[in-house]
Amino acid sequence: MRCVRVLLAKRGRAKYTSHLDMQRCMMRAVRRAGIELWYTEGFNPHPYVTFALPLPLGVESDGEPVDIRLEGDMTNNEVRDRLNETMPEGIEVVDVVDAVNKPGDIAFARYHIELYPKEGLADKISSALESGNLPAEKLGKAGRKKVTKQINVSELMGEYTVQDNGESVFIDIVLAAGSQRNASPFILIDALSTAIGEGIEYKKITRKAILLANLEKF
């Protein structure tokens, strides 16, 4: 048995496939590709296919890491090629690598956000990001109960740029990611809308990369 990390790009209509549906999609692709999976040895044997960091519904990605455990000695390139022959529209294996870092080491993710343009929008967003105070409401859990938590998105973000080319406004930004501290691009857009006092509609959001605490690629 060996563990490999598959990097999946998710583009176009495929972005509407949810996290749980992506797991099913991956499982079926592996079966179609004739890749021999390792199965757990319990009462109800199941394969090991794990997405390192859930991707919010509606967000595209340049490379989502999925760890799978294989039997046999198929090379990483063969795994990649076989999968690419059978993937549904919009999902592509960009690379297959040996899994070095653990999913728990994930600390940040970089996003590219494209917005419908509005007069002065880029400036307003820039100063809101500058302010250091971007309150937002987040659904969380306290024990079993669902509660709304107040968070400050400014504390959950890193470097960013804002640009306007006339047709779109672009935000490139690093946000906290992982099981401890996490901010989704949607929370950021909500917080920005509240801060500037007007609705912001996005065209497309792409997760460009998943990063470790030292900002190196996961």
**For other proteins, the closer CB: 64 or 154:** 64
Distances (CA, A) of 166 to 13, 114, 188: 26, 12, 22
Distance, CA of 106 to CA of 128 (rounded, Å) = 27
Q: Where are the beta strands (DSSP E) in the chain?
A: 2-10, 49-51, 60-70, 91-98, 106-115, 135-142, 145-152, 157-164, 169-176, 202-212
Q: Does 45 bind other proteins (CB under 8 A)?
A: yes
Site string for other proteins, 52-91 (x = CB under 8 A): -----xx---------------------------xxxxx-
Q: Does 12 bind other proteins (CB under 8 A)?
A: yes
Q: What contacts 125, CB < 8 A, 6 or more positions away?
A: 162, 169, 171, 192, 196, 200
Q: Does 19 bind other proteins (CB under 8 A)?
A: no
Q: Indicate which single residue of 7, 9, 14, 183 sits in contact with other proteins (rule: CB under 8 A).
A: 14
Segment 139-178, which members bind other proteins (CB under 8 A)? Answer: none
**For other proteins, the closer CB: 158 or 186:** 186
Q: Which stretch binds other proteins (CB under 8 A): 2-10, 14-22, 94-102, 172-180?
A: 14-22
**For other proteins, the closer CB: 88 or 104:** 88
Q: Does 31 bind other proteins (CB under 8 A)?
A: yes
**For other proteins, the closer CB: 86 or 168:** 86
Residue 197 CB burial class (10 angstroms; 0-12, 13-18, ≥19): exposed
Q: Indicate which single residue of 1, 3, 19, 28 sits in contact with other proteins (rule: CB under 8 A).
A: 28
Distance, CA of 34 to CA of 73 (rounded, Å) = 13
Distance, CA of 94 to CA of 137 (rounded, Å) = 35
Q: Enumerate long-range contacts of 154-158, CB under 8 Å, 24 or more apart.
A: 154/129, 156/181, 156/182, 156/183, 157/129, 157/183, 157/188, 158/108, 158/215
Q: Does 49 bind other proteins (CB under 8 A)?
A: no
**For other proteins, the closer CB: 29 or 192:** 29
CB of 93 to other proteins, least distance (A): 15
Which spans of this chain sit near other proteins (rule: CB under 8 A)? 12-14, 16-18, 20-21, 24-25, 27-32, 39, 44-45, 57-58, 86-90, 201-202
